[in-house]
A and B are shown apart, each in its own frame.
Chain A
Amino acid sequence: MAGVATLALAACGTNGGGTGSSGTGAGGTGSANAAPVSNGAAQVHITLANSPSGDSCTIDHPQAKAGPVTFTVVNTSATAITELELQSNQRIIGEKENLAPGLGAVKFTTTLGGGSYQIYCPGATKEMQNFTVTGKAATSTGGSASALLASGTAGYATFVDTQLSAMKTATGQLRTAVDSGNVAQAKAKYAAARPYYEKIESDVDGFVLPGHSATDNAGNLDYLIDMRASNLDPKVGWHGFHAVERDLWQSGKITANTKKLAAELDSNVGKLVTLAKTLKYKPEDLANGAAGLLEEVQSNKIKGEEEYYSHLDLMDFNGNLEGAQQAFAYLKPGLTVLDPALTAQISAEFSKVSGQLNTFRSSKDLGGFVPWTPAQRTKSAANLSQTVQGLQDPLSRIAEKVATQG
């Protein structure tokens, strides 16, 4: 946000960028390509422009002497480039966002030691360009992004295990309630068990039982635990949460089959607890998983397809959101090093979504949210969906950032 404020100020005054970025007569002493020094800093001008072959990011001087360097960035016509970063070994040293054409030039000054740096213009035909600083080398500052990300994935694995072990307890209680024949109690236990799964369901790729192929639903724990009526595999039949949901809400009766389904659900969750301990995650799995949880929100929860009988969709939505928030939180230390602006943007969008979801909280309703009935959806789905979309877009850009960290 601070960057935007600077930009707004600059937009009032400087426009047209008249300060000699002619490119040909660099004229400084020593290296012909070194940026000239004025106001106590080396002056580098970067121009973003559109051309028939794509957007370009042009640096007038690819070299500077060690010391303060001022980068002046102006976007004359590029639509694909809206940000620019100065990097050193993948650490971000300085950056500017919201570089829209027509807005005034923006500047940032940073003191650089000798060494090689990169100017990164995402969206340009040539995205990464070298920038060399000659003179005394600066001492390296710590915090490697890849180490931070690796420790994040380990933390996330523990989070998944914790959720599943709590879920096992909850499905055990659901089974007991169903066995007792008390429908109201069983409904309450159903609502209590659901959110655990919704928080970690992005990891379902790994939920295939040993010895089964990924396309065999009989050995797919995600199918056996969470399949909805709309997507049944006739060979395998209906199992899991939503089959129990139908009995409890549609007919309001607990039959021998309901008891069988609840027992089977509990047993399959037990298998999942064991299986999940063997899973390993890469940083991009967390990023893709977080984005995937929001896709779940958009494709099933918003439309009310997930909890078709009980209308508990907003509770599931909240589970998906919390799961995505957790995955993001484990990536955050590493991601902050790679891209602090994107990290801050995503954090802000998460707050918007949870803020909006909070307006639907209701302590008197099962699951803690108002029922997501057709009438409620007509009223609120479009707004909610667009807020989620606002989060989904920046979130979908994380995977690429973290995947390239090795």
Chain B
Amino acid sequence: MTDADQPRHHVGRRRLVQGAAGGLAAGAAIGLGAGWGAGSASAAGAPDDHDTVDLSTQHPFYDEARPAGIKTPQQRYAVYMTFDLAQGALRSDLQVLLARWTAAIAQLMKGAPIGQVDSVRPGAIGQDTGEAAGLDAASLTVTVGLGPGLFDERFGLSSKKPALLADLPALPSDNLVAASSGGDLSLQACADDPQVAYHAVRNLARMVRGTATTRWAVLGFGRASAGKGQETPRNLLGFKDGTRNLRSDADYDEFVWVDDASEQAWLRGGTYQVVRKISMNIEVWDADPINDQQSIFGRTKNVGAPLTGHGEFDTPNFHSRNATGKTVIPADSHVALAAHENNGGVKIMRRGYNYTEGINGFGQLDAGLLFIAYMSTPQHFVTLQSKLGASDRLNEYISHIGSGLFAVPPAPKSGHYIGEQLFA
């Protein structure tokens, strides 16, 4: 019964933020609510309990069946950062890094600082940087990923390398840049308050300076996928994404958690994390007629229904044909290419976020999707993306510019640390 689905509330003030469908910030939702009537709250009925943000929520960390931040109801904001181990770092440095991160994450997820903020002695340097002082835990979860590079000769861990942990193969339509790809370690911090997530990553990065250097980072907002009981949010293309995301325990067991006796023992109960930074040609997309956008996605924009149905959760019919003999849902639409029905039953767990980095060198909006997915074998992503990258009509409007693959160890037991078994 220690499922990460069950949030724990601490007593004390409860700060509630009523969420609007689509993950709008609370203030904007209240101000703009009336104008969004048809497609959002009124169409979907009363907002689900899970779409009400309670900033006092704390999620458990130690002794859980599964690592935090994967099946945990998806928070509104994320900070994702990867790191490289510094030149000359030793096996014991990595061990200390993971142990210190583990204890600090446990404390941060309780909404606590990781040491003194105030000056305790003249000239003292703060142990916690302090920008989350006064803020609640805000459902913070921090998920640690181990990259393929950790298992090279540097740390004597090559015999512990998971069978499937290697950089993803080159995939069609890849346009990767080194400055947003790879890394020896990854941190995914998710919270309902962006400052809480940022504070966590900033302090975790700070405590390992000299041992690990930062490599790339993305700040995510407006969750771009939904879990059980959550309203389906919208991506920056204005479409509901993640309607068919994993929700049942059976799906998680089959497609997410590593449970294979042939896999490394230390990874059992954990999972693989695939991260992709996908930039969107926002301006070009915005000039595309809605009916074309809908045929690119295979869903209606407003309701999110498959083109063969009326409601968002109607099962798409990929065989239904129109009068001209073509399938109603185009075979090269995003939904058709990604559907498990058309991919030998393969499913992945998506946990993405929208991101923006301001304006690019051409004066265009620099934004897109931080795609994060969890799966028991990275091959499932490779299968889907090989297909999508080759023929998805959406490719005209998006570009995969960043990529990473990490192994996420199981949740630590109290008094132990993430990845401890690696050093046994």
Q: Cβ of A400 and Cβ of B123 under 8 Å apart?
A: yes
Within 8 A of B (CB), among A121-174: 123, 127
Q: B91 at the A/B interface (Cβ < 8 Å)?
A: yes
Q: Cβ of A80 and Cβ of B415 under 8 Å apart?
A: no
Contacts known (A102-B103, A102-B412, A400-B123); A8 close to B95, Cβ less than 8 A: yes
Binds A, one of B311-319, B363-371, B416-424: B416-424
Contacts known (A4-B93, A8-B95, A79-B104); A123 close to B417, Cβ less than 8 A: no
Q: Cβ of A102 and Cβ of B210 under 8 Å apart?
A: no
Q: Which of B87, B124, B420 contacts A102 (CB 8 A)?
A: B420
Interface residues on A, range: 35 or more
Within 8 A of B (CB), among A19-75: 50, 52, 54-55, 75
Binary contact track B84-104/A, C-beta < 8 Å → 1, others 0: 001110111101100110111
Q: B18 at the A/B interface (Cβ < 8 Å)?
A: no
Q: Which of B90, B103, B206, B210 contacts A349 (CB 8 A)?
A: B210
Contacts known (A76-B415, A79-B107); A400 close to B125, Cβ less than 8 A: yes
B424 — which chain A residues lie within 8 A by C-beta? 12
Q: Cβ of A390 and Cβ of B209 under 8 Å apart?
A: yes
Q: Cβ of A50 and Cβ of B107 under 8 Å apart?
A: yes
Within 8 A of A (CB), among B89-139: 90-93, 95-96, 99-100, 102-104, 106-107, 112, 114-116, 120-125, 127-128
Contacts known (A102-B102, A352-B87); A11 close to B95, Cβ less than 8 A: yes
Q: Which of A100, A386, A387 contacts B99 (CB 8 A)?
A: A100
Binds B, one of A196-204, A325-333, A391-399: A391-399
Q: Which of B92, B103, B214, B412 contacts A4 (CB 8 A)?
A: B92
Chain A nearest CB, measured from B3 CB (Å): 23
User: Of all chain B residues, which has the CB nearest A349?
Assistant: B210
**CA–CA, A299 and B209, complex, Å:** 18
Q: B213 at the A/B interface (Cβ < 8 Å)?
A: yes
Q: Cβ of A103 and Cβ of B99 under 8 Å apart?
A: yes
Q: Cβ of A101 and Cβ of B103 under 8 Å apart?
A: yes
Within 8 A of B (CB), among A365-406: 383, 386-387, 389-391, 393-394, 396-397, 399-400, 403-404
A1 — which chain B residues lie within 8 A by C-beta? 90
Q: A284 at the A/B interface (Cβ < 8 Å)?
A: yes
Chain B nearest CB, measured from A19 CB (Å): 16
**CA–CA, A98 and B115, complex, Å:** 16
A399 — which chain B residues lie within 8 A by C-beta? 123
B206 — which chain A residues lie within 8 A by C-beta? 393
Q: Which of B96, B112, B116, B415 contacts A98 (CB 8 A)?
A: B96
User: Of all chain B residues, which has the CB nearest A393?
Assistant: B209
Q: Cβ of B125 and Cβ of A102 under 8 Å apart?
A: no
Q: Cβ of B100 and Cβ of A80 under 8 Å apart?
A: no
Q: Cβ of B92 and Cβ of A8 under 8 Å apart?
A: yes
Q: Cβ of B92 and Cβ of A396 under 8 Å apart?
A: no
**CA–CA, A301 and B158, complex, Å:** 39
**CA–CA, A298 and B122, complex, Å:** 25
Q: A5 at the A/B interface (Cβ < 8 Å)?
A: yes
Q: Cβ of B417 and Cβ of A393 under 8 Å apart?
A: no
Q: Which of B91, B93, B102, B121 contacts A101 (CB 8 A)?
A: B102
**CA–CA, A135 and B424, complex, Å:** 42
Q: Cβ of B95 and Cβ of A390 under 8 Å apart?
A: no
Q: Which of A127, A394, A403 contacts B210 (CB 8 A)?
A: A394
**CA–CA, A230 and B138, complex, Å:** 42
Chain A nearest CB, measured from B23 CB (Å): 32
Q: Cβ of B213 and Cβ of A397 under 8 Å apart?
A: no
Q: Cβ of A123 and Cβ of B115 under 8 Å apart?
A: yes
**CA–CA, A80 and B127, complex, Å:** 7
B95 — which chain A residues lie within 8 A by C-beta? 8, 11, 103
Contacts known (A5-B92, A79-B104, A100-B96); A390 close to B210, Cβ less than 8 A: yes
A75 — which chain B residues lie within 8 A by C-beta? 103
A390 — which chain B residues lie within 8 A by C-beta? 86, 209-210, 213
Q: Cβ of A55 and Cβ of B420 under 8 Å apart?
A: no
Chain B nearest CB, measured from A357 CB (Å): 14
User: Of all chain B residues, which has the CB nearest A97?
Assistant: B96
Chain A nearest CB, measured from B420 CB (Å): 6
Within 8 A of A (CB), among B160-202: none
**CA–CA, A290 and B274, complex, Å:** 43
Binary contact track A71-89/B, C-beta < 8 Å → 1, others 0: 0000111111010000000
Q: A272 at the A/B interface (Cβ < 8 Å)?
A: no
A349 — which chain B residues lie within 8 A by C-beta? 210
A101 — which chain B residues lie within 8 A by C-beta? 99-100, 102-103, 415, 417
Q: A7 at the A/B interface (Cβ < 8 Å)?
A: yes
Binary contact track A215-228/B, C-beta < 8 Å → 1, others 0: 00000000000000
User: Of all chain A residues, which has the CB nearest B115?
Assistant: A80
Q: Cβ of B121 and Cβ of A400 under 8 Å apart?
A: yes
Q: Which of B99, B102, B210, B416 contacts A393 (CB 8 A)?
A: B210
B88 — which chain A residues lie within 8 A by C-beta? 352
Q: Which of A5, A102, A387 contacts B416 (CB 8 A)?
A: A102
Chain B nearest CB, measured from A83 CB (Å): 11
Q: Cβ of A80 and Cβ of B96 under 8 Å apart?
A: no
Q: Cβ of B213 and Cβ of A396 under 8 Å apart?
A: no
User: Of all chain B residues, which has the CB nearest A392?
Assistant: B209
Which of B127, B210, B417 has the most chain A CB within a 10 Å cutoff? B210
Within 8 A of A (CB), among B378-424: 412, 415-417, 420, 423-424
Q: Cβ of A77 and Cβ of B106 under 8 Å apart?
A: yes
Chain A nearest CB, measured from B174 CB (Å): 22
**CA–CA, A284 and B121, complex, Å:** 14
**CA–CA, A284 and B112, complex, Å:** 32
User: Of all chain B residues, which has the CB nearest A7?
Assistant: B92
**CA–CA, A146 and B415, complex, Å:** 40
B213 — which chain A residues lie within 8 A by C-beta? 383, 386-387, 390
Which of A5, A11, A102, A403 has the most chain B CB within a 10 Å cutoff? A102
B423 — which chain A residues lie within 8 A by C-beta? 8, 11-12
Q: Cβ of B122 and Cβ of A403 under 8 Å apart?
A: yes
**CA–CA, A400 and B374, complex, Å:** 46
**CA–CA, A283 and B177, complex, Å:** 47
User: Of all chain A residues, which has the CB nearest B418?
Assistant: A102
Within 8 A of B (CB), among A295-343: none
Chain A nearest CB, measured from B213 CB (Å): 4
Chain A nearest CB, measured from B28 CB (Å): 35
**CA–CA, A79 and B99, complex, Å:** 10
Q: Which of B86, B116, B125, B127 contacts A396 (CB 8 A)?
A: B125
Chain A nearest CB, measured from B106 CB (Å): 7
**CA–CA, A361 and B86, complex, Å:** 21
Known: A52-B112, A102-B99, A123-B127. 18 other contacts (CB 8 A): A5-B92, A8-B91, A8-B95, A11-B423, A55-B115, A77-B415, A79-B114, A80-B114, A80-B116, A102-B103, A102-B420, A127-B120, A386-B209, A387-B213, A390-B210, A390-B213, A399-B123, A400-B121
Contacts from B to A (Cβ < 8 Å): 86-88, 90-93, 95-96, 99-100, 102-104, 106-107, 112, 114-116, 120-125, 127-128, 206, 209-210, 213-214, 412, 415-417, 420, 423-424
7 contacts between A and B (CB under 8 A): A4-B92, A77-B106, A79-B100, A101-B99, A102-B417, A123-B116, A399-B123
**8 shortest A-B CB distances, which residue pairs?**
A80-B115, A100-B99, A102-B417, A390-B210, A101-B103, A400-B123, A386-B213, A4-B92
